[in-house]
């Protein structure tokens, strides 16, 4: 069941392969959250263009920056995120 975020009006879609708290990392260094933006689909998230962190520590999403990159632990584990998707941030209210 998708979760609605009334403050943004967006609906977060549930994904099958990735838990909702995962951090997805795209080539180029942008971090996403499963189902929080509509400009990508679950089927697109595959190595080598994507890496992920399935069970990030609390606060990892909020800390992503040039100085505190998120490093993929699965998929393409060489990828690092240094910025967060603005749409995902809006959906999550962060």
Q: What token pair was written down for 12? A: 């977060």
Model confidence pLDDT, tens digit, residues 4-62: 444 455 556 778 899 999 999 999 999 999 999 988 899 999 999 999 999 999 999 99
Which token pair is 20?
A: 């909702």
Domain extents for the chain? 3-92
pLDDT at 15: 86
Sign of CA dihedral 32, 36, 38, 44: positive
Q: What pLDDT is attached to residue 10?
A: 57
Structure token digits, residue 73: 């632990």
Mean predicted confidence (pLDDT) in 57-73: 98
């Amino acid at each position: 069941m998708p979760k609605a975020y009334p403050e943004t009006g967006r609906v977060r879609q549930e994904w099958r392969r990735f838990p909702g708290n995962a951090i997805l990392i795209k080539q180029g260094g942008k971090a996403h959250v499963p189902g929080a933006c509509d400009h990508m689909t679950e089927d697109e998230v595959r190595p080598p263009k994507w890496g992920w962190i399935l069970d990030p520590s609390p606060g990892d999403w909020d800390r992503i920056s040039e100085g505190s990159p998120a490093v993929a632990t699965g998929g393409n584990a060489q990828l690092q995120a240094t910025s967060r998707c603005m749409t995902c941030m809006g959906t999550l209210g962060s």
